[in-house]
Structure 1
Amino acid sequence: MPQGSDSGADSVTSRKINRRDALRLVGAGSVGLLAGCPGSTGGGGDGGSSDGGSGGDGGSQELGERVPAMTLSFFTGHSASPFMEDAVPILQNSWEQIGVTVEPKPTDVSEVINEVWSDQRVSPVQIWSHGADPARLDSQTMLRRFKIDYAGANGQPNVPNYASCEASDYITQVTEAPDEETKREATNNALERISEDLAIMPMMPATLQGAYNSNQVNLSPGSAGLATTNPFLYLTGEATNDDNTIVANHSTSALARLNMLTIGDPRASVVFSNTFHSPLLQYNQEYELENVLASGYETGDGGRTATFTLRDDITFHNGDPITAEDVKWSFDNILGNADVFPYPEDLGQEITALDERTVEFSYDEPYVSVLTKTIPRWGILHRDTWSGLESNPGDFEPDPNTFIGSGPYEIRDYSASEFLSLTPYGDHPVFDPQSDLFFQAFQNAQTAVEAFINEEVGLITDLAAGNISRIEDADTSGSEVSVTLSFVPDPLYPQMSFAPSKFREFRAAIGASTNLDEINDIARFGASEPDPYATPFMKPHPYRPPNERLTRYSEDTSGDADAARQLLADAGWGWDNQDRLHYPPDADLSPLWPEGEEPGPDSFPCINSDGEYVGESA
């Protein structure tokens, strides 16, 4: 698969600042947050007096309506919550220096998602986090979120409620591209438009953090890092303990069912499709697409067909040959139950076994993402083991005692939400694991870390920075910490449907004033690095455009309040004698569409009255 302009991921293991010391650097902003009220720092409070700095004249100019206090919701009950809790006071302090009062609002993650996906207009800027789901290595997966028919009060995951006909046209071209070259150029065009509009402002790449004990296991995580979504940890790792077993953590929810097709967690689907099953194609630990059960593939008919040739002599665990009919049956029952399972997409594909070793996927419209999104996600199923999918896909549960798979591991034992025990299958065509694999389920990261420190677990993945520091402080013999930069960001999403964030100059000022360096030092313990280009794809992503195609939203990653104020002043914004930000006198503060509704054809010609995308030319 073609690679992006920046290769590889940066691996960082040092820490710049101790968290206890670092929090003191935040100053009054952290006091306000921790006290449950919106702190006052710089010139952002109500009680001070200022001449307005570089962007204002102390009240002599004509001012429009005052920008009201800005709620900033952030996740609670999520793996990214510690990062957000540490980042929010810094955002608060940064933005109050340009006259914006910020009121932090810790909110359950499900409520925040509902607020944003339903366009409830609670927070003008939303702090967010993206997981390293391998399906997001395909450009279409993330870009689809930015399409106009997902904006508004429709429950769809357009996080910034971004509405652009031009960007939507390019995103459609990505979906319908007849070949990889066309898809890549359409991706670049879409991201260039999204970036120019500042629809996303990554603070920095998310980090893939974990640890392993070299006395128990040898690993080469590569760019995909110590994350459960990196199956190569388990496929190529080797146990070094007396039990010859890699003992790794997993979540109780991801191990809740053996029918992992039903679980809305990519960590479950990665284990499902890459350990006791295998896919036709797979992303390796450097995010490159490789053959597994397939020996080759080709596309045809302008991207409407994809034909896969299976390897010779591949078998299920009981010795049954894996044939093109098995591939067809697997995808018919996975994609055909898209209304039951959380991740499959039924695009009206027709799957045909051309002969015993050749299978063809055909579509009415071009869909080259079948190679990079659909095929790598799903392992090939054994029909007798999974026969219950045909009549009762949601409730069917395969028997672990008679389970037959297609992957490099066989199931030895399983207990729902407790553990999954696997042993090597000796006749896999690609992988030859030499150690048993035991996934131990934990309710939370704290108990998993305790088990690692006590040497009960040899590999622990998906950790927050605080837990990494806890492991470092414990100094367990053989403990090795790994921090790798992800291909997805921890971003800010301006809400594009309403003021003040519907104004580009406001978005630009928020970005320019944010102290990204301090967020990295405190919230990431210095383990990441700011990436101030407005794109959802970080440097390791295979579809990251060249930087010259992207808009850089911050020239000074330590934050430049003067430059931010100048951006606002140049657009007619101003400050009163208490240094509070005001809109331009002639600013149109009406929303781009009414709250509770969706973008409409009067303002956006590419959408019809039913909220359906119909194209710019319609």
Structure 2
Amino acid sequence: MPQGNSGSASTNTVEVRDFDGNQSTVNRRKVLASIGAGAVAGLAGCVGDDDGPEGLGPQVEPVEIAWWSGFAGISEFMEDTVPILQDTLDALGMDSEVQAVDYATNAEANDLDERTNHISLATMTTGMGRLDPNYFADTWTADLAATSGGNPVSYVSCEYTDLAREGAQIADEEERAEVINESQAVLSENVPFVPISGRDIFGLIRDDLVEIGDLGAAGLTVANPLAYLEVEPMDEDTLISARTVDITQTRNFNVIANNFAVDVWNMLIHSPLTTYDLDYELQNTLAESIEVSEDGLEIQVEIQDATFHNGDPITAEDVRFSFEHRWDNVGLFPEVTSVPYDTVGVIDERTVNIILDEVFAPLLPQVLPTTGIMHRESWIEAGAEENPEEVEPDEVIGSGPFALEEFQRGEFLRIEPHDGHPIYSPDYSIIMQAFEDNTSAYREFEDGNLHVMPDVDTGLLSRAASELGEDSVEETNTNGNLPYYLATQNSFGPTKFRAVRLAIGMALDREAIMEQAFRGLVEPELYCRGMLETHPWGTPEDQALQFTDDPSGDIEGARSVLSEAGFGWDDDGNLYYPSDADLDPAWPEGEHPGSTGEYECLNEDSEYVGS
């Protein structure tokens, strides 16, 4: 694939791919000239310290773009998108360079504000723990920026953070929706990131080898492990599914930085107290009943009569351990939500009482459904209390409908049906086979050695339909309610400036991306919002900034935004900063926003203290 420009003024060609993926080389200046004289942007040269044309500051440096390699179903989209993004930057007068990195490396770099790129191709995927707005709203809060807290663009706004925190403390759903929408309006106006489209998930099932039940609205996707209970092998006793390598990373599943993988451990090998069914309805699983006090600060849970895989009864002590172990180690467990709790008390063998420090609305809809109940005794014996990050029990004694039978790190895990579960009663085993990419997985799928591919690109959909036919393959498509987006870094470089982020969002040719990456099967997202209209808490259009009404992009409008902000161009179309632009990072590299003393809602350690 094209690897971006070298920064040399002599680089004046670009590789273009047509609908079928064929490549040709054309003169970049001719391509840009066809846009119109007012929109022509030449190739950026090397960054210098000298000011540019009269009235302008230094030339904008090359934009570093990162995309995730080796991530089945996602990498293909990103690789298809990168050349179109580069064309957008070129049209605005910015050179670009590209790096392919694995997901974990990129996520860590962005969360810690390591400044290895200005823009990352990124996504948030629909999941059972993401139906509550807190997951998305909390992601962008100020105290999570540059502190490994999970704010991937280092966006800092005390106005936004105050509203997001307030929204988590409102029990009344109507009042909460009002505050959540207000917070998202602030977020949208600041343009901290650039949505591209919904993260629709496509899958393939060998329906000549399996019986497919009712997959509901959630569908069979990489984000919905309970769907495996509706796909039963016909002539064998084992269902085989492709998965990413993350799922076989460690038996200490809480440390895995991938909610897809963690959810398999939490919902199949273990079970939570409650679970969303395949139509997104919340139901009791290991919980018999849940009562919430009038003030919302006390939650009492009665546990069903159920057993762990070794026959031990599931007790209130196990539930308490499962909560405290996660909630006390939030910094070590990437997919665990911080809960403002005072105590988790044991009333009797089957009753737990949670006392909160403050109302925490996401506890029931977000936290409980994604917290699998762990076997306290075996985890403590393995050293979970002394070393929660490194502990790895030889045997995982779960509470879910499947028991872990075999674990081969980096290769596969095999789970067997457990007959002591109070809700589910599967009668077949499942092998989760790890693949680095979908190409190798598809070969096994084509040969009948693999029954399910839960996350594929549209190219594989077409290939399977052509090579295997409708009688052998069932295609699945689950609409995403969270986005594919450009994670534009807010702390440094050109993307520190709102005008640059807004211009990119306006100029981006989403129409071309939809055709190239999705064969037109997915709709572009033209508003700056992350909870899309299909999300239960989707941000209304009248409370979100609209980049453009043209999915092919508005380059002229984008250039006007830059011009009005003081940016300008030389005769070759290279973009320059305003003469008075503050080019220093928002805070020194290696530090965090609280260290500057400029954000009233943060103390010097970047802890949230309110405004």
Same fold (TM over 0.5): yes
1:182-205: CA deviation from partner (whole Å, max 9, x where unpaired): 443332222111111111211011
Pair 1:606 & 2:601 matched: yes
Describe the SS at the equivalent of 2:525.
coil
Say if 2:117 is the partner of 1:119. Answer: no
Partner of 2:370: 377
Alignment partners' CA distance in 2, 1:488 and 1:49: 32
* Residues 453-494 of structure 1, C-alpha deviations (whole Å, 9 max, x = no match): 100111122233444444334326511222323232110133
Corresponding residue for residue 231 of structure 2? 237
Equivalent residue for 1:296, pick from 280, 289, 310: 289
Q: How does 1:528-547 map to 2 (within 5 A)?
A: 528-547=522-541
- State the superposition RMSD in angstroms: 3.4
| Gap runs ≥5 in structure 2 | 1-16, 42-52
Does the alignment pair 1:72 with 2:33?
Answer: no
Is the Cα–Cα contact under 8 Å of residues 70 and 436 in structure 2 kept in the other structure? no
Alignment partner, residue 58 of structure 1: none
> Could you list the per-position Cα deviations for residues 275-320 of structure 1 after superposition, in whole angstroms to 9, with x for gaps in the alignment?
2322111123343322212233233363322222334x44445665
* TM-score of the aligned structures, taking structure 1 as reference length: 0.82
User: Could you tell me which of 303, 315, 318 is aligned with 1:326?
Assistant: 318
1:21 alignment partner in structure 2: 19
Instruction: Give yes or no for contact 1:178–1:304 (8 Å, CA) kept in 2.
Output: no
C-alpha displacement at 1:542, in angstroms?
2.5
1:203 and 2:199 are equivalent in the alignment: no
Distance in 2 between the 1:535 and 1:422 partners?
39
Choose which of 377, 395, 408 in structure 1 pairs with 2:391.
Answer: 395
Matched letter for residue 409 of structure 1: F
Q: How far apart, CA to CA, are the structure 2 residues paired with 1:92 and 1:258?
A: 40
Partner of 1:141: 135
| Corresponding letter in the other structure for 1:546 | P
Alignment of 1:393-472 (within 5 A): 393=388, 394-399=390-395, 403=397, 405-472=398-465
Superposed displacement of residue 602, structure 1: 5.2
Q: Report the secondary structure of 1:157's partner residue.
A: coil
Alignment CA distance shift 1:470-1:385 (3 Å) = farther
The 1:23/1:554 distance shift into structure 2, 3 A limit, reads farther
Cα distance in 2 for residues equivalent to 1:74 and 1:261: 27
CA apart distance, 1:448 = 1.9
Partner of 2:508 in structure 1? Answer: 514
CA contact (8 A) 1:178 1:368 kept: yes
Task: Please report how far the alpha carbon of residue 256 of structure 1 lies from its aligned counterpart in structure 2 after TM superposition.
Answer: 4.4
1:576 alignment partner, one of 565, 570, 574: 570
Q: Cα distance, 1:359 vs. partner?
A: 1.7
Tell me if structure 2 keeps the 8 A contact 1:43–1:579.
no
Partner of 1:104: 98
Q: CA-to-partner distance for each residue in 1:91-124, whole Å, 9 max, x for gaps? A: 1212322333333344454554454334354544
Deviation for aligned residue 1:351: 1.1
Distance 2:273 2:202 in 1: 28
Matched residue, 1:86: 80
Cα distance change on mapping 1:553 and 1:51 into 2, 3 Å: closer
Q: State how far apart, in whole Å, the 1-side matches of 2:136 and 2:407 are.
A: 34
Question: Which residue identity does 1:395 align to in structure 2?
Answer: V
Does the 8 Å contact 2:263/2:370 carry over to 1?
A: yes
Q: In 2, distance between residues paired with 1:233 and 1:371? A: 22
- Which of residues 159, 163, 169 is equivalent to 2:162? 169
How far apart are the structure 2 equivalents of 1:124 and 1:410? 43
**How big is each residue's C-alpha offset from its partner over 1:305-345, in whole Å with a ceiling of 9 and x where there is no partner?**
2222334x444456654343432243344444556555444
After superposition, the C-alpha distances for 1:353-412 in whole angstroms (9 at most, x for unaligned) are 224443221122222222123211122234455452556653342436xx4x43223445
- The Cα of 1:530 is off from its aligned counterpart by 0.5
Residue 214 of structure 1 deviates from its aligned partner by 0.9
Q: Which has the higher contact order (CA 8 A, sep 6+)?
A: 1
Contact 2:70 2:437 in 1 (8 A): no
1:556 equivalenced with 2:556 (yes/no) = no
CA contact (8 A) 2:417 2:427 kept: yes
Please tell me whether the aligned partners of residues 340 and 360 of structure 2 are also in contact (alpha carbons under 8 angstroms). no
Q: Which structure 1 segments of 5+ residues have no match?
A: 1-18, 33-38, 56-60
Query: 228-237 or 260-269, which moves further after superposition?
Result: 260-269
Q: Distance in 1 between matches of 2:39 and 2:403?
A: 67
Report if the CA contact (8 A) 2:317-2:376 is conserved: no
CA drift of 1:552 comes to 1.6
Equivalent AA in structure 2 for residue 397 of structure 1: P
- How do 1:13-52 residues align onto structure 2 when only pairs under 5 Å count? 21-23=19-21, 42-43=31-32, 52=38
SS at match of 2:247: coil
Distance 1:243 1:499, change over 3 A: closer
Q: Distance in 2 between matches of 1:41 and 1:23?
A: 21
Using the alignment, how far apart are the partners of 2:259 and 2:291 within structure 1? Answer: 27
Relative to structure 1, the CA distance from residue 346 to residue 605 in structure 2 (aligned partners, 3 Å threshold; closer, same or farther) is: closer
Identity %: 31
Q: Which amino acid aligns with 2:56?
A: G
3-state SS in 2 of match to 1:395: coil
Q: How does 1:270-349 map to 2 (within 5 A)?
A: 270-300=263-293, 302-311=295-304, 313-317=305-309, 320-338=312-330, 341-344=333-336, 345=338, 347-349=340-342
The whole-number CA distance in structure 2 between the counterparts of 1:196 and 1:264 is: 30
**Partner Cα separation in structure 1 for residue 507 and residue 118 of structure 2:** 16
- Number of residue equivalences: 576
1:49 and 1:127 mapped to 2: Cα distance? 25
3-state secondary structure, aligned to 1:501: helix
Alpha-carbon separation, structure 2, partners of 1:498 and 1:387: 44
Alignment of 1:245-264 (within 5 A): 245-264=238-257
Contact 1:304 1:368 in 2 (8 A): no
Task: Verify the 8 A CA contact 2:339 2:363 in the aligned structure 1.
Answer: no
Q: What SS class does the counterpart of residue 82 from structure 1 fall into?
A: helix
**Shift in Å, 1:20:** 6.1
Residues 610/325 of structure 1: CA separation in 2 closer, same or farther (3 Å cut):
closer
